[in-house]
């Protein structure tokens, strides 16, 4: 797996550009990985709802759940699907809109300095082995390419937005990823 620093893209990922991103306040300050989960519709896997959400094309008539979220303007840098496919929506050097109101290590606005990685899943459904394999490959590539990222600075959305977010959930096995603390 190769990461091109100039483009901010992974060679093994399908790139689907999201308009929901902007410049980072300090492009040199990329120092955190935030692990999320997502499934659209909830607890259903394999459809194109995630792609549609992150590219502002979610049809509110396609599923009742979509009526409440179709106007959201959110994104993540990367999605790891249940079968291991990687989909990149935002180049890593840009700011994706994944964390919302958040704080890590005494710093607020985690989108400014983090990379958001979504796993296709749900809080209480076990993740696939291949998802952990891909996540570890991505972590290795990010740590190699961005010196501010270390395995000590990998966290869950639930940890940076406690009380507001629960992902990646109890089904996520932190022991299976390249992380020093957890």
- Region 72-92 average pLDDT: 98
Domains of the chain: 3-176 (3.40.80.10)
118 is catalytic: yes
pLDDT at 38: 98
pLDDT at 179: 65
Rounded distance between C-alpha atoms, residue 120 and residue 80, angstroms: 6
Tell me the pTM: 0.96
Angle at 91 between CA 95 and CA 128, to 5 degrees: 100
Among 23, 62, 71, 118, which one carries the catalytic annotation? 118
Rounded distance between C-alpha atoms, residue 3 and residue 164, angstroms: 32
pLDDT tens track for 18-32: 999 999 999 999 999
- Spacing of C-alpha 180 from chain mean position: 20
């Amino acid at each position: 797996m190769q990461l091109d620093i100039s483009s901010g893209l992974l060679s093994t990922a399908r790139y689907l550009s999201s308009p929901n991103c902007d410049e980072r306040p300090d492009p040199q300050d990329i120092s955190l990985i935030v692990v999320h989960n997502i499934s659209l519709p909830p607890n259903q896997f394999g459809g194109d709802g995630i792609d549609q959400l992150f590219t502002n094309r979610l049809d509110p008539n396609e599923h009742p759940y979509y009526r409440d979220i179709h106007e959201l303007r959110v994104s993540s840098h990367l999605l790891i699907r249940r079968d291991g496919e990687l989909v990149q929506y935002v180049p890593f050097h840009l700011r994706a809109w994944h964390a919302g109101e958040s704080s890590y290590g005494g710093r607020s606005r985690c989108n400014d300095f983090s990379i958001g990685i979504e796993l296709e899943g749900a809080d209480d459904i076990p993740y696939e082995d291949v998802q952990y394999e891909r996540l570890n490959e991505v972590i290795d590539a990010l740590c190699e390419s961005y010196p501010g990222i270390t395995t000590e600075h990998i966290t869950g959305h639930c940890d940076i937005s406690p009380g507001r977010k629960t992902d990646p959930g109890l089904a996520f096995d932190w022991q299976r990823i390249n992380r020093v603390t957890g």
